[in-house]
Amino acid sequence: MSSVSQTAATPSPSVLLPTYARAPVAFERGEGAWAITADGTRYLDFGAGIAVNALGHAHPHLVEALTAQAGRIWHTSNLYTMPEGERLARRLCEATFADRVFFTNSGAEANEAAIKMARKYHAAKGHPERFRIITFEGAFHGRTLATIAAGGQQKYIDGFGPKVEGFDQVPFDDREALLAAITPETAALMIEPIQGEGGLRSVPPQMLRELRALCDEHGLLLIFDEIQTGVGRTGKFFAHELAGVTPDIMSIAKGIGGGFPMGACLATEEAAAGMTLGSHGTTFGGNPLAMAVGNAVLDVVLAPGFIETVAQTGLRLRQSLAQLKDQHPEVIAEIRGEGLMLGLKLHTPNMDFVAEARAQGLLVVGAGDNVVRLLPPLIIGETEVKEAVARLDRAAQAVEATLKRPAAE
Ligand SMILES: *Cc1c(COP(=O)(O)O)cnc(C)c1O
């Protein structure tokens, strides 16, 4: 220990692993779409904890559900029946293609369950050699050993030993490469309907339909990673509804917990057939606190008209962003995304723009392909849209000023 006394003016250096470049701002509380620091500075939160706080901060219905459950029982383990989990699973099945649900604590774990399920499906049918999964360039599926292999990004794979075997990656939009990658060892295709971390690239609906047809033709399972796109984010309950096709397996997380860590792997009866007694497990997954919050999130998101309002608000925001692009052609190159999962593809460095937006009191998130992501809570209305666009306008002006400075000098 250092013998020098630590004061508020000289905070101790962080002992957290330096795996994140954290902004020098800490939030003490939140109200709806606003995150507030200890000194009372208010930030309009259009990052929502990376698409996690679907209902904003301190939503009264979620606070009530969590605190009521906290006063009853926190954790019992999957050794016992959990009525709130049974109820949440049933509601998810009723609202989707799925017949079976496995709860997890995170997105990566939901994808691990999806990957194991796809492999086990074929093994249980007498084809253990069919274990390979085809994924797409620019994908992000998580940070476990299997999901970094699935995502295929070298910067996440390097240095962590042999890459987990069984993932074949093809270019995003190359049908020939995809067909060539399908072999007698292929078990499944895995894709995000809209790439999140990869830069808000939408898979054209026609391509999702073709992937479905291809899976049916070759006896492959289709896995949709809807961890970021799900639970109303795109103006549909799940993004694949935009294309009118359903997967065999789907991973969800982020929005379903509204800020409480949880995820789930959803599947058809057929796809889940290999996942028999003892084949998979989790200590915390499906814990009563998470289940209470998940049900409370669905109370709001599945209420009549909620998702339709998200779609309308998303359209209005998108129209305003298109105007902003016309006003700042040297900064903004393109508007991407669906619903309230929108992206600004920039000409200038995206992380500089994120910092300028933060200086204007607006939180947004960077993504791959030089994109700035707007992932506001789904509860925003006209006021927040206008305020966000005004702040984005000022951030773009600040970026433009830095472009012009050298010429003016
Ligand atoms: C966030 C995300 C993940 C990983 O979720 P974690 O909870 O961080 O493990 C996986 N896939 C997609 C599409 C995501 O957006």
Share of the chain above pLDDT 70, in %: 96
Please check whether residue 376 is in contact with residue 391, taking contact to mean a CB–CB distance below 8 angstroms.
no
Is 0.85 surpassed by the pTM of this model? yes
Q: Whose CA is closest to atom 5 on ligand 1?
A: 107
Domain ranges of the chain: 61-301
Q: Can you tell me the distance from the alpha carbon of 224 to that of 205, in angstroms, rounded to the nearest whole number?
A: 13
DSSP-based three-state secondary structure for 294: helix
Which pLDDT score, from 0 to 100, does residue 12 have? Answer: 86
Please state whether beta strands 42-45 and 362-363 pair in parallel, antiparallel, or not at all (unpaired). Answer: parallel
Let me know if 225 is a catalytic residue.
Answer: yes
Give the max Cα distance, the chain.
73
Q: Which pair of structure tokens corresponds to residue 226?
A: 């809807």
Best mutation site among 228, 249, 260, 282 for ligand 1, i.e. most ligand atoms within 8 A of its Cβ? 228
Catalytic residue among 102, 131, 140, 260: 140
Which pLDDT score, from 0 to 100, does residue 130 have? Answer: 98
Catalytic residue among 45, 168, 225, 248: 225
Let me know if 140 is a catalytic residue.
Answer: yes
Which pLDDT score, from 0 to 100, does residue 404 have? Answer: 83
Q: Can you tell me the distance from the alpha carbon of 29 to that of 74, in angstroms, rounded to the nearest whole number?
A: 23
Catalytic residue among 254, 260, 345, 353: 254
- The single residue listed with the structure tokens 């996440």 is 156
Centre of ligand 1 to C-alpha 272, Å, is 21
Which pLDDT score, from 0 to 100, does residue 7 have? Answer: 46
Centre of ligand 1 to C-alpha 31, Å, is 25
pLDDT digit string (tens) for 141-195?
999 999 999 999 999 999 999 999 999 999 998 999 999 999 999 999 999 999 9
Q: Can you tell me the distance from the alpha carbon of 217 to that of 246, in angstroms, rounded to the nearest whole number?
A: 15
Q: Which pair of structure tokens corresponds to residue 368?
A: 């791959």
Q: Where are the beta strands (DSSP E) in 83-182?
A: 100-104, 132-136, 167-170
pLDDT digit string (tens) for 301-351?
999 999 999 999 999 999 999 999 999 999 999 999 999 999 999 999 999
What is the signed CA dihedral for 212, 214, 218, 224, rounded to 10 degrees?
A: -40
Q: How many residues does the chain have?
A: 409
Which pLDDT score, from 0 to 100, does residue 4 have? Answer: 43
Which pLDDT score, from 0 to 100, does residue 407 have? Answer: 57
Centre of ligand 1 to C-alpha 321, Å, is 26
- Shortest-distance atom of ligand 1 to CA 144: 9
Centre of ligand 1 to C-alpha 329, Å, is 32
Kindly give the interhelix angle for 288-301 and 83-95, rounded to the nearest 10 degrees.
30
Which pLDDT score, from 0 to 100, does residue 179 have? Answer: 98
Phi, psi for 336 (deg, rounded to 5): -130, 165
Question: Could you tell me the fold of the domain covering 61-301?
Answer: Aspartate Aminotransferase; domain 2 (3.40.640)
Pocket lined around ligand 1, Cβ cut-off 6 Å: 106-108, 111, 140-142, 192, 196-197, 225, 227-228, 253-254
What is the signed CA dihedral for 61, 95, 230, 153, rounded to 10 degrees?
A: 140
Which pLDDT score, from 0 to 100, does residue 406 have? Answer: 63
Q: Can you tell me the distance from the alpha carbon of 122 to that of 397, in angstroms, rounded to the nearest whole number?
A: 55
Q: Which residues of the chain have pLDDT under 70?
A: 1-10, 406-409
